[in-house]
Each structure stands twice: as structure tokens, then as C-alpha cells.
Amino acid sequence: MCELFARQDPDRYVPVTRRIRLNGQSTSVRLEAAFWTILDEIAREQGESTGAFLSTLHREVLEFHGEPGNFASLLRCTCLVRMETRRAAQMPVSRAVA
């Protein structure tokens, strides 16, 4: 079982730092490459650049919960939520047997 995970391409978990602007403020975020790939896909689906998507996400989190304590963790969890949502959408609808 662990072999499935152990054999993954090491480039997927290489840390990548990107400089971004969050609502006008320049900052850097360090995430594993696989997370950046997912965030780039989400942004593309939203019709935005990754930076614009992250700014929108940051602004909305501020409105709902205040300043996120760890923005990188929020981004990783955002990727997980996307994966969970997609998986749920792909599950077949079970029909009740009368």
C-alpha cells in the first residue's frame, strides 16, 4: 500500500516558493509543487490568474473568519476541499429499493 505513495514523482513534493500580491501587499507563499498545480487549476477554472484567485480567497476568509493564522495551511486545505467536492460529485447516486 505505501508503495503507491512512495513511488510518486519526487517533483510533486518539492517545496516551491511563489511571490504573490494579496490585496495589494507583496508576500511569498511556500507550498509543495502538487498544491500549486491544483491551485493553478482552480484559478484557471475561475477565469483568474492564480494571484487574483488567492487574493479573492484571502479577502473572503478575512470577511468570514478574520486573518488566517497560516495562509499556506489554508491553501492546502482548499486543495483538499476541491478534491473532496469533486469526488462527491462523481459518486453515483444510489437509489432506494422499495
Whether the per-residue pLDDT at 94 is higher than 80: the answer is no
Per-residue confidence band for 96, with pLDDT thresholds at 50, 70 and 90: low
Distance CA 53, CA 85 (A): 18
> Domain boundaries in the chain?
7-70
Cβ neighbours of residue 48 closer than 8 Å, sequence gap 6 or more: 56
Confidence at residue 36, expressed as pLDDT on a 0 to 100 scale: 99
Confidence at residue 95, expressed as pLDDT on a 0 to 100 scale: 63
DSSP class of residue 7?
T
β-sheet bridge partners, residue 19: 28
| CATH architecture classification, 7-70 | Orthogonal Bundle (1.10)
**What is the average pLDDT across 38-49?**
98
Whether the per-residue pLDDT at 98 is higher than 60: the answer is no
